[in-house]
Structure 1
């Protein structure tokens, strides 16, 4: 067995032992004055903490030089930091409820067991025709709006109360479109489920997010880890449907859904491609005074404690290489500063280039747009999906 293969099997070492092995042990910050807080939520020594983040398991920095072995090791490191136990093979046991016909597709409500803890209701859209079809796991955003989840992306035929809220959300962020319905009209099977706290699984209140996270941490779990596990399981369920071509399943999302999309591509072999709109940055560049992440609350849904000691955000996304991946960023998006997006894009580009697969990676900044998934952006994503699937 080669050294690379051995490292691939022994996937990770945690804590101080890993830092010693990789030569990145934290050094004393030196003499310091009285400690304090910046804006009440960032320690004044935050720069010293950031300086200690060297991301030693990133591709190109890691001692593992075989890419497949590196992917196994990096994925295992992420899996460990999800905190939630590994998938247990709980049967999905789907239950379907037919809905009214859509424009060229049929609608269903589906309830499935994504984990052994809870059954989850979602929507399933299937184009008319014989199939099997390409499919999209559609992942909803955060938006501090919890009364709707799946309804943000698929028109809720089953709930008139939520319809008004959903339409207002589509008008605000998606140029009035329901993205899932558009994808189904264009020939894709679409699955969209609620994350914990949204729609049928909530609703949360913004200020309750910290308490929810704390309670899940006390129970040996985490909001972000649970969401990652559920998204991977949802991809497996979608890929296993007879109506779906299992080789042509993509994950698509906006904002938190974009984070979920590239993460699902990194952690699940059932996801063949991913389109991520408005969620990619370098961690250090995001952790700056004034950034929304520093407020806490919503950050818990995208926080795997301790993972930053090993991998940067784009390093995790790079586990998906060389799959086809699309990343869009709005140049006016204040949630993700331009320098953080630039750092992330450079890292992603280097990984796909190392795989001689740069043509499979699409990176684009829309200079005139903010944090949105406009009709123009959607049309490019739809065309890209047609090409890669």
Structure 2
């Protein structure tokens, strides 16, 4: 670390000299196809339980959501409001909730923001902040840089989706971090027997349940959508929550071994702690966790010019995902694409393809994993 404490001297991060031996020990024995369990539903339950154990936070949180709705206004074809709710027992979280005009129930999107080492805005990266003019310039700058100037939440609401986007811990309204402070936050949560990544995963899972519980939402047609770290959060939420019927993950999928190479951003620590579940890699690779969502519809989009992920890592992950969906007779429900002229971004043409795909898979009620319909969570919710 530099004397000023700002950035590491070596931004690639140090790997121990014996890291090849540690790498060789990662055989991912609980992956579908490697696990001795041959019944897929039994494997899903076991794999999900393994992930849950490594979140280092309570598996069940029955805290009532107790939502409070404020700052209501009209957008272009939809209503905007802020909602404050309890995603865990540890505190209240504020999110933006957009609802199309007309009669519901509507299909819905849990929209998950990225990391980007910018913490003053969170939900505002994806939803135009009608409630706070002081954040508008920063939000527009972010949309210009990564989304060709489009606010994804507003676009989806205009296309007929109810949209929920909330701040993750350390962004927006939730004690914004700095680049260096996020590592201290992660370390202190470890000391407290918890995990920054685990807390984020639990909040996203609960947010999916809250969105599905709203009377304005068709609980059978809830999708998780995200870019960058939000893309990671999207497939992770689909793996952990049966309330997610489909997911779109943009610019975040790779094999772990292929990602952890000298020069990769992951080796900095810092942002990695938001996506690092200690010890989980001894059982499951990243695409193995995403595969818990099979055979639900999933779309993975990436850019060949994205320097955060090696081409080998993306190919490895996509191949593992395709093998799982194929084994379930559901190869047509998984779509993996790498755009040759795109970097770490979600340009308009890619957005339009993703939203077209989403419309096609949510046009009719999606089949959840296993038998029966998607349950609507009750008992945790104060009537909207």
Aligned to 1:197: 170
Matched, 1:373 2:349: no
CA contact (8 A) 2:12 2:265 kept: no
Matched, 1:249 2:213: no
Q: Structure 2-normalised TM-score?
A: 0.91
Match of 1:287 among 253, 257, 260: 260
Flag as ranges the 4+ runs of structure 1 deviating above 6 A.
none
Q: Deviation of residue 267 (structure 1)? A: 0.3
Aligned to 1:360: 333
Alignment RMSD (CA, Å): 1.1
Residues 85 and 102 (structure 1), Cα distance of their counterparts in 2 relative to 1, 3 Å cut? same
Aligned to 2:290: 317
CA contact (8 A) 2:13 2:267 kept: no
Q: Deviation of residue 88 (structure 1)? A: 2.1
Matched, 1:57 2:55: no
CA contact (8 A) 1:99 1:157 kept: no
Aligned to 2:375: none
> What are the Cα deviations for residues 298-357 of structure 1, in whole angstroms up to 9, with x where unaligned?
000000000000000000000000000000010000000100000000000000000000
Q: Structure 1-normalised TM-score?
A: 0.90
Aligned to 2:72: 99
CA contact (8 A) 1:87 1:115 kept: no
CA distance in 2, matches of 1:214, 1:115: 20
Residues 88 and 171 (structure 1), Cα distance of their counterparts in 2 relative to 1, 3 Å cut? same
Matched, 1:82 2:59: no
CA contact (8 A) 2:128 2:139 kept: yes
Aligned to 2:204: 231
Residues 38 and 116 (structure 1), Cα distance of their counterparts in 2 relative to 1, 3 Å cut? closer
CA distance in 2, matches of 1:334, 1:44: 24
CA distance in 2, matches of 1:88, 1:292: 33
Aligned to 2:4: none
Aligned to 1:261: 234
Structure 2: runs of 5 or more not aligned:
1-9, 363-384
Larger relative contact order (CA 8 Å, sep ≥ 6)? 2
Q: Deviation of residue 38 (structure 1)? A: 11
CA contact (8 A) 2:69 2:82 kept: yes
CA radius of gyration, larger in: 1
Counting helix residues as a fraction of each chain, which structure ranks higher? 1
The residue matched to 2:102 in structure 1 has which SS? coil
Structure 1: runs of 5 or more not aligned:
1-36
